Homo-oligomer: A and B are copies of this chain.
Amino acid sequence: MNANQLFHEIQNKKSFLCIGLDTDIEKIPAFLKNAHDPVFEFNKRIIDATHDLVIAYKPNLAFYEAMGLKGWEAFEKTVNYIKNKHPEILMIADAKRGDIGNTSKMYAKAFIENLPCDAVTVVPYMGSDSIKPFLGFENKWVIILALTSNAGAADFQFSQTEKGKLFEKVLETSKNWGTMDNMMYVVGATKAEELQSIRKIIPHHFLLVPGVGAQGGSLCEVAKNGFNKQCGLIVNSSRAIIYANSTEKFDVIAREKALEVQQEMERLLKSHSIS
């Protein structure tokens, strides 16, 4: 999937929502726990209930690895289920990997060659050779962590360097390693001035924005400062959607929550004349 195709999906679904499948075996509804593969069963029902409202799904690998072999199996089944049933949906492996060149190649193999993931999140700390092995695949994406939304982001990402704050230097240095069709950035920016400064450096790239839907209220601000002509935003929500309810109706309620976000996104796309 390239950037035009992604924009086409956004126009089609009037949505730039990504649902984070951070599926924790301890948080899924009790009635599912006796299923053969409770985590996959949970994901399947969430996907069946929401696929027409989203342009991306994003399982976070930590939740699957915490279950060992069974978790890895549930992850693979989830990826295959999404891409078999909904090839138009961007499948993001939120793996936050990164290693020296030869080793990063093995991570690219794991997620992009052996599995039908469309995108992998990667940490830039080790520099260009940790990122570039992910760039050699047509219609596949690397999503580089620039600015994250957690408290710890302040420790290093805001360090003043010779090229602005570290996250700005990451953007500036890496923006030409790939193209607008194979590179995005994780930007946990909810403050207007940060997003504006980011858009000055990378006006055209897609940004993956975590946690906005969940925390509510700032979606409007993110759209205002982050939109470009092709939308340019993928906004993720995890817990606020997938754990909104813990009864047998959890998937129905998850759909309702996703629909609320999608409708807000539709309004924002329209009011910014992106539709």
Contact = CB atoms under 8 A, between A and B. Distances in A.
Given A106-B62, A156-B173, A72 B76 contact: no
CB-CB nearest 10 A-B residue pairs: A127-B152, A127-B155, A62-B106, A65-B110, A129-B152, A159-B161, A100-B150, A66-B106, A66-B109, A125-B125
A199 interface: no
A154 B127 CA distance: 7
Contacts of A106: 24, 62-63, 65-66
How many copies of this chain does the complex contain?
Answer: 2
Contacts of A73: 69
A114 B65 CA distance: 10
Nearest to A149: B100
Contacts of A100: 148-150, 152
A22 interface: yes
Nearest to A68: B114
Given A62-B106, A123-B123, A155-B127, A150 B72 contact: no
Interface string A146-178: 001111111111011111001001100110000
A30 interface: no
A102 to B, nearest CB: 9
Contact of A169 (B72, B127, B159): B159
B126 A145 contact: yes
Interface of A: 22, 24, 60, 62-63, 65-69, 71-73, 76, 96-101, 103-104, 106-107, 109-110, 114-115, 123-131, 145, 148-157, 159-163, 166, 169-170, 173-174
A104 to B, nearest CB: 7
User: Chain A interface mostly helix, strand, loop or mixed?
Assistant: helix
Contacts of A115: 68
B103 A62 contact: yes
Given A123-B98, A127-B151, A130-B150, A72 B68 contact: yes
A99 B96 contact: yes
Contacts of A124: 125, 155-156
B99 A97 contact: no
Contact of A130 (B149, B152, B154, B166): B152
A131 B156 CA distance: 13
Among A62, A127, A163, which residue has the most Cβ atoms of chain B within 10 A? A62
